[in-house]
Structure 1
């Protein structure tokens, strides 16, 4: 899965950072591989999980305005773009990861996506200037980021009516209090990860 915020680059040497690839599984760039940085805490969403998620979103992704709160590899954002999302906004803190995201957008000649470099929670504490139909919340694990992210989204006007909110989190996360207006539509757990899809009521 993606993961980014509060990550650190490999400080063991000055050698170039190695990396891997994410693969787009459907849509106009089906099968396309995009390079990603090998950064501590960066966890691209697996193909299997991504397939499950976008099956859930099958009837909603086309022409949706999407927000990827912790973009990391951009796996979810690029999949949304491949499946004809109208617009995607990516939030990412790590400078080298931001650079890679922008390079990948340029390779695909994308003109309907924007990457914002900086702390995601600080960004979301601002009053929203637009609303989103689909929001991806997939932060680094064990950083306590899910709750404040959900609170900020709900409080500061980021969610369009009937918005869909996807949360990917550690399975043992406890004490999470979500807005009463969020209805749980789908939920699945595999290993140490829980995936949930909510609708803003």
Structure 2
């Protein structure tokens, strides 16, 4: 997914041109959605996205999903296309958030909500439990530890939530709670992506 400015949702191309993300399966299969080019934005590749949603295939239908540092919305719109009940997208960059809202409206995705906000600030308030959480923070900003702690402390996670984390491979092992169990893990270039299953503490 990827990096950009301080905390906007994705991560790193150098091209200044706006691009698009493609929905690869489900209700809107094949639809291309415009992406506002934010510095550091790097939408999750189709190859990685296909792998992730194969992992999550039994869990997405009727799930409540939270997408932190949403960026392009690639994961959010894929989840919606595959039958998620609700998706909340958090994105700091104003123009990126505006594009997410335009894409939401163009799809008629009334079960999605775009919130222009800092994800860490948002997570500090008491949460509503989500079944699936996507975490793809800006690289090399040292945000993951705080995000993981706040998800647990503020009760943002359902008892058996699935948590997807995309991060730079150099980080190594992540500071996850003992009740988060690693379900799947792969690398692609300099990115490591993992899926955790949460058990009630």
TM-score between the two structures when normalised by the length of structure 1: 0.92
Q: Distance in 1 between matches of 2:173 and 2:17?
A: 37
Q: Which residue number corresponds to residue 161 of structure 1?
A: 159
Paired residue for 1:146, among 114, 119, 144?
144
How does 1:1-201 map onto structure 2 within 5 Å?
A: 1-3=1-3, 6=6, 18-128=17-127, 130-174=128-172, 176-201=174-199
Shift of 1:41: 1.1
Contact in 2 for aligned 1:4/1:94 (Cα 8 Å): no
Q: Which residue number corresponds to residue 12 of structure 2?
A: none
Q: Distance in 2 between matches of 1:82 and 1:184?
A: 26
Unmatched 5+ residue regions in structure 2? 9-15
Shift of 1:38: 1.2
Contact in 2 for aligned 1:2/1:42 (Cα 8 Å): yes
Deviant stretches of 4+, over 2 Å: 2-5
Q: Which residue number corresponds to residue 11 of structure 2?
A: none
Shift of 1:145: 1.3
Contact in 2 for aligned 1:7/1:39 (Cα 8 Å): no
State the secondary structure of the residue aligned to 1:162.
strand
Shift of 1:53: 0.1
Q: Distance in 1 between matches of 2:173 and 2:160?
A: 25
CA RMSD of aligned residues (A): 1.4
Unmatched 5+ residue regions in structure 1? 9-16
TM-score between the two structures when normalised by the length of structure 2: 0.92
